[in-house]
Structure 1
Amino acid sequence: MKGIFMDLKSCRVLVTPTSYGKTDARLMADLEAKVRNVVYNTTGRPLSSDEVASLLPGMDGYIAGLDVIDRPALAAADRLKVIARYGVGVDNVDLTATHEKNIRVTNTPGANSISVAELTVGLILSLARKISDSILAMRGGDWPRLSGLSLEGKTVGLLGLGSIGKQVACRLEGFECHLLAYDVAADEAFARAHNVNLASMREVAAHADFLSLHLPLLPETRALVNTTFLQGMKSNAFLINTARGELVVDTALAEAIKNGHLAGAALDVFDKEPPEADNPLLKLPQVLLTPHIAAHTDGAQNAMGWMALNDCLAVLCGEEPRNPVG
């Protein structure tokens, strides 16, 4: 369905992702050349609801990072036609409120899949070969010959075989490990072509030496990895989460590691970001921590930027976006 055509030179656009245009200056130059005015997020972090509300009046387009875009924030949108998410997740966007206000929402599916998959494999290897421990020991003057695990012959479980899960599977094929995956709508043709065995979520968790999460945040997946789930994981297994922090109950994971049921974990995402100083996972040497950097590569940032920019401008021009949500 065609939207209402607007003269781009009359449009104002809000841009809040902190990495937008950082690795390709053309993203900023192109947008600034095509519209009347661009307002950037200068805080260096995602915006709160109140901060979004203070910036939305008079804005026609919004290229959005991980801001809180709830009903109170959207109440301030007096001209807004489109929210182009710089990323995939839209759980921070009140889609009911956007529908009521006839605001189109788009996202950037697949833009960061390769980058997230690369970090996932890197974290698996770091856990298996104790790379972080070795670096810290040598910097402390030690020379430990730490024994690690070979991925050959091990079982890597993937919970979620969507765009990112598939990229992880492709990259792990060469390690001669066994790939086991669960997805609510599994691509059986892909699984056959890449030697991925499909199973139930419970079976994947029970057999995986390395269990990697690639699930979306939904009501049924929030706090999925709780005490009961962790008890069903294979003893001495590792958990890797580059998906959403809200999938994991931090205290339950910390306890599973402290009591020796799990060997460790690698986490790029957290329920609260940055995590509180008293988060028990921060104090465990068996846990590798990265500050939500999976999509922070030149390739992913550029792909997300151009996809969000093109869909934002398409809607403002009265055209259909390539990646509508809902």
Structure 2
Amino acid sequence: MGKKVLVTATNYSKYCSQAKILLESEGFEIIENEFGRPMTFDELKLRVPDIYAVVAGVDTWNEEVFRIAPKLKAIARFGVGVDNIDLNKAKDYGIKVTNAKGMNSNAVAELAVGLILGAVRNIPYLTGSLKKGNWDRFVGREIAGKSVGLLGFGSIAQGVAEKLQGFGVKIYAFDKYPNLEKAKDLNVTMTCIEEILKSCDIVSLHLPSFKETYHIMGREQFETMKDGAYFVNTARGALVDEKALYQALKSGKLAGASTDVFEEEPAKPSNPLFELDNMICTPHTAAETYETYTTVSMATAQGIIDVFKGRTPQNLLNG
């Protein structure tokens, strides 16, 4: 049998057959996630001792796992965010880590725009209400003439800005390391977080998840936002204090919000946000498109092959 590759990203055989064939043609044996969700440590510890490489979802990969995975040499993140992977410890254990930077940006940007439109017109609520036999005449908002603030201005946020060009909005953005040339091309005004929160009608979150960005949107930030504003998060759940978001929506401070990510995933049915009619929720599905599965799966497969052939893989994060 060939070297075993554990795929913790879900739906691999269903949507990533080309990548699976590529790895198998190079002599690898594929072990797939059978749970349909991120794997727990107890589930990983039964599998990782014989694993040489991983196509990783959002499971936790840290020293506790590395210590019992002596053969592991490569982790190819099936996505962009690597807050679930300890890059420094991986390097200490001789494990190369890659990600799919930029490869799911369009899919996430498209969903972000969809979540904005869904929030201002309350589309999911109206759909559910109509299916129950009601005929609610909900009065929503138009985004034309509104100001949209992007917290973060990486490739996803830039995609959102590009897609919003035809909607007649004013776009503002904050980024610690701003791409001023791209901002100029997209007619985006760079500013600070505080100004975005105070002045924008719609705030869309696109920051990475680090220790310093944990709960960057909390009670104080939501209170700073305009009355009746909308909030969208397609980044990471850890960036938002869900209790503070709940209060901002429940009190009417915010008119609506949409999120694709949660502090705890999979989110529990008891999550208070699910009680709110002005809250749209999707299950961390922003990158779930056929196009993304094809592009990312081929890139992660090639990254693993490159590691074992002694080549530097694309998007190496801890070389």
TM-score, with structure 1 as normaliser: 0.94
Query: Which residue type is aligned with residue 77 of structure 1?
Result: A
Structure 1 residue 34, shift from structure 2 partner: 1.5
Residue matched to 1:110? 102
Query: Which residue type is aligned with residue 183 of structure 2?
Result: A
Residue matched to 2:231? 239
Structure 1 residue 280, shift from structure 2 partner: 1.6
Query: Which residue type is aligned with residue 211 of structure 2?
Result: P
Q: What is the CA deviation profile of residues 36-86 of structure 1, one whole-angstrom value per residue up to 9, with x for unaligned ones? A: 422111121111123222211222221111111121111111111111111
Aligned residue runs from structure 1 range 1-326, under 5 A? 10-326=2-318
Contact 2:122 2:278 in 1 (8 A): no
Query: Which residue type is aligned with residue 139 of structure 1?
Result: K
Query: Which residue type is aligned with residue 98 of structure 2?
Result: T
In the alignment, the residues of structure 1 paired with residue 298 and residue 308 of structure 2 have an alpha-carbon distance, to the nearest angstrom, of: 15
Secondary structure in 2 aligned to 1:180?
A: strand
In the alignment, the residues of structure 2 paired with residue 82 and residue 160 of structure 1 have an alpha-carbon distance, to the nearest angstrom, of: 29
In the alignment, the residues of structure 2 paired with residue 171 and residue 29 of structure 1 have an alpha-carbon distance, to the nearest angstrom, of: 35
Tell me the percent identity. 38
Q: What is the CA deviation profile of residues 156-190 of structure 1, one whole-angstrom value per residue up to 9, with x for unaligned ones? A: 11001101000000000010101011011111111
Contact 2:222 2:245 in 1 (8 A): yes
Contact 1:53 1:75 in 2 (8 A): no
Structure 1 residue 227, shift from structure 2 partner: 0.5
In the alignment, the residues of structure 2 paired with residue 138 and residue 10 of structure 1 have an alpha-carbon distance, to the nearest angstrom, of: 54
TM-score, with structure 2 as normaliser: 0.96
Q: What is the CA deviation profile of residues 235-261 of structure 1, one whole-angstrom value per residue up to 9, with x for unaligned ones? A: 110110011011111111111111121
Structure 1 residue 192, shift from structure 2 partner: 0.8
Query: Which residue type is aligned with residue 323 of structure 1?
Result: N
Contact 1:49 1:68 in 2 (8 A): yes
Secondary structure in 2 aligned to 1:170?
A: helix
What is the number of equivalent residue pairs in this alignment? 318
In the alignment, the residues of structure 2 paired with residue 183 and residue 160 of structure 1 have an alpha-carbon distance, to the nearest angstrom, of: 5
Structure 1 residue 21, shift from structure 2 partner: 4.2
Secondary structure in 1 aligned to 2:247?
A: helix
In the alignment, the residues of structure 1 paired with residue 88 and residue 17 of structure 2 have an alpha-carbon distance, to the nearest angstrom, of: 34
Compare 98-107 and 16-25 and name the one that shifted more. 16-25
Query: Which residue type is aligned with residue 86 of structure 1?
Result: F
Contact 2:125 2:278 in 1 (8 A): no
Unpaired segments ≥5 residues, structure 2: none
Contact 1:12 1:38 in 2 (8 A): yes
Residue matched to 1:6? none
Compare 206-215 and 274-283 and name the one that shifted more. 274-283
Unpaired segments ≥5 residues, structure 1: 1-8
Contact 1:15 1:38 in 2 (8 A): yes
